[in-house]
Amino acid sequence: MKKLVLLRHGQSVWNLENRFTGWTDVELSPAGLLEAVEAGRLIKDAGLLPDIAYTSVLQRAIKTLWLGLEVCERMWIPTVPDWRLNERHYGALQGLDKAETAAKYGEQQVLVWRRSYDTAPPLLAESDPRSERHDPRYEQTEALKAMAGETLEDTVARVVPLWEQAMAPMVQSGRQVLVVAHGNSLRALIKHLGRHTREEIMELNIPTGIPLIYELDDQGSVLDHYYLGDPDKVAVLTQAVANQGRLQS
Ligand SMILES: O=C(O)[C@@H](CO)OP(=O)(O)O
């Protein structure tokens, strides 16, 4: 049996401000920095010291990885940044306040934008100053296609090849693999791992900075999955993520 460690980055400054983030490269908040250190401690205490790690090319994931590896005394392992682990691109929603967007378009529409499987956000024009078009990180054609805005289905289509080509062979060869990514790129990976339906994956919300363990058999089928740390805290934080698209009370 193999154990794969998935970790959503620590709280970012836009998580704190409740803004749609996507590919916007915001930094960790002070609380997010602490979450990253605590995640490293949980991974170390569970004896899951990574041999190799994969991240997105966004600093909130990379910094979370760095801080976690420092706690694990594993800063020397190979780390692989890949844009295919980036957050789902949120198109023209990037930068907007989620509660204000719910007030303007309704909670139901925001829920569809956040959690439906095949509805794209309003698209981001190439000429929009928020576009990542000229960012040297994204020279690949495929990345350029994604940056107008993605459905979760689009995100699955880029995450799964990375899983199959790079990460799954590492896991199956017995390496301890750590994946530090984002709420929706991890939902994309989990949909594939758990063979979830599109309805099931709509219900999944992942809190920041808490290691999520997937136990896999030799064929890659999921045997079990669970968070490290206090289950009550995980439940509260998971609900808080689900509530981000609600009207402010
Ligand atoms: O804004 C985003 O990029 C994501 C993750 O922070 O949010 P959501 O949970 O609304 O998909």
pLDDT level of residue 208 (50, 70, 90 thresholds): very high
pLDDT digits (tens, 9 = 90+) for 18-41: 999 999 999 999 999 999 999 999
Q: Which residue, judged by its Cα, is nearest atom 7 of ligand 1?
A: 20
Q: At a CB cut-off of 8 Å and minimum separation 6, what does 215 contact?
A: 1, 2, 3, 4, 222, 223, 224, 225
pTM above 0.90, yes or no: yes
Give the pLDDT of residue 232.
Answer: 97
pLDDT level of residue 45 (50, 70, 90 thresholds): very high
Structural domains in the chain, sorted by start: 2-85+156-243 (3.40.50.1240)
Annotated catalytic residue within 9, 35, 150, 182: 9
Which atom of ligand 1 is found nearest the CA of 24? Answer: 3
Does the annotation place 114 within a ligand binding site? yes
List, for residues 92-108, the tens digit of each pLDDT value: 999 999 999 999 999 99
Q: What pLDDT score was predicted for residue 248?
A: 78
What lies within 8 Å, CB to CB, of 135 at 6+ separation is none
pLDDT at 135: 95
20 lines ligand 1 (CB under 6 A): yes
Residue 111 predicted with pLDDT over 90: yes
Mark whether 87 is an active-site residue: yes
- CA-nearest residue for atom 8, ligand 1, is 114
H helix runs in 87-230, sequence order: 98-105, 107-115, 141-146, 152-162, 168-172, 183-193, 198-202
Whether residue 231 has pLDDT greater than 70: yes
Q: Is the distance from the beta carbon of residue 9 to the nearest atom of ligand 1 less than 6 Å?
A: no
